Amino acid sequence: MSKLPIPMSSPDLTDAERQAVANVLDSPILSMGQNVKDFEQAFCDRTGAKHAIAVNSGTAGLHLCVRAAAIGEGDLVITTPFSFVASSNVMLFENAVPIFVDIDPKTGNIDPELVKDAVENIEKYLPRRGANLDAKIKAILPVDVFGQPANMDSIMAIAKEHNLTVIEDSCEALGAEYKGQPAGMLGDFGVFAFYPNKQMTTGEGGLVITNNDEDADYMRAMRNQGRAPGDTWLTHTHLGYNYRLDEMSAALGVVQVSRLDEMLFKREQVANWYESALEHVEGVKTQFVEESTSRMSWFVYVVRFDEKINRDELAQKLIAAGVPVRPYFAPIHLQPYMVSKFGYKVGDFPITEDIGNRSLALPFSGVMSKAQVKQVCKTIVEMLQK
């Protein structure tokens, strides 16, 4: 059997998306038009949120939440080191300090027991340098890792008790549900991202949902160069950003979100193919899905290997055999800029590091065929036997 080409990820696009983008290009309005409004409305309809604010990346969306929550110089935010860097970087943009706590080894999501302990005993969790013991804890930023909601009931209970804002990073979990509730709707703010490997794409893009009117107005102003409601084009109430989503991206997004359930279903099917091919392979552990996850939204397909297996060597062999794979995640606290700013060391968050060292994201998308999945799994089994 000849080998099929296997990309790491692929967007799921149809002629409807192509036509929607072409229609924008045939119009004079390439920014700040109806498509952004329609895209936002589709998210309100889907999630039940009062407000949706489209932006040009998930990172921009998270940053606007940090600003809206008035997280500033020296403030502390409890979050996870097992994530994509953006979820912590948005604190650094404001000279605030991410306070890391380790994760639940089963799901990879932030451990709520440790969140509670950190809120109550912050001195145990401060980095070696770059944070002040007297600083105020302002917020919790959980991440819905790999498309599985964090343990939000516990996190919200802690937040309520201590009057903390919760920013739910649902950039990997659009369409997921926690006990029947949409991911992104569980905290004060929810953020989604639409990079081309995501469940749906706008090319680049992101979106914030919230039920708070004042915060929504502020975020709309801040994404648009600080123009508050009533400001003219050259009046800027705030020092803002250009975080606007353009009309081509929004038009693409309107079609993609209308197809979201179909696309999520296809991704789930691919995940199921992987699961049945790999669940009994010795040394390989597939994704654990928590009971509270009433709907998993498969973003990536990540497997964990036994300690005995040299993950990096295996990855190299797989890539050489035409199977692209990637370590996922690389712990945030060990990124060079984090080490130099806060003095983190190997061993600071052992569960994050262990899982980071033993995991690989396999090729994954909703347009993958069963034959491609079979080929990936067959290659993994062969390489493990060598």
Ligand X SMILES: Cc1ncc(COP(=O)(O)O)c(C=O)c1O
CA pair distance 279, 58, nearest whole angstrom = 33
Piece of 6-14, 115-123, 168-176, 209-217 that binds ligand X (CB under 6 A): 168-176
* Residue window 132-151: x/- pattern of binding to ligand X, with contact defined by CB under 6 A: -----------x--------
Among 84, 100, 274, 328, interactor with ligand X by CB under 6 A: 84
Looking only at residues 225 through 244 of this chain, which bind ligand X when binding is defined by CB under 6 A?
Answer: none
Minimum CB separation of residue 209 from ligand X in Å reads 15
Summary count for the chain: helices (H), strands (E)? 13, 13
- Region of 63 on the Ramachandran plot (φ > 0 left; ψ -120 to 50 alpha; else beta): alpha
Q: Could you give phi then psi for residue 51, rounded to 5 degrees? A: -130, 140
- What is the DSSP-derived secondary structure letter of residue 147? G
Question: Which tokens is 121 given?
Answer: 């005993």
Minimum CB separation of residue 310 from ligand X in Å reads 26
Q: Is residue 169 a contact point for ligand X (CB under 6 A)? A: yes
Binning the chain into helix, strand and coil, the percentages to the nearest 5 are 40, 15, 45
Piece of 56-64, 65-73, 182-190, 276-284 that binds ligand X (CB under 6 A): 56-64
Q: Is residue 86 a contact point for ligand X (CB under 6 A)? A: yes
Residue nearest to ligand X (CB): 58
Among 9, 59, 148, 199, interactor with ligand X by CB under 6 A: 59
**Helix H or strand E encompassing 243:** none
Among candidate residues 39, 46, 42, the one with its CA nearest the CA of residue 182: 46
Minimum CB separation of residue 349 from ligand X in Å reads 16
Looking only at residues 187 through 206 of this chain, which bind ligand X when binding is defined by CB under 6 A?
Answer: 193, 195, 206
What is the CA angle 315-318-323, rounded to 5?
A: 120
Rule CB under 6 A: which residues touch ligand X? 57-59, 83-84, 86-87, 143, 169, 171-172, 193, 195, 206
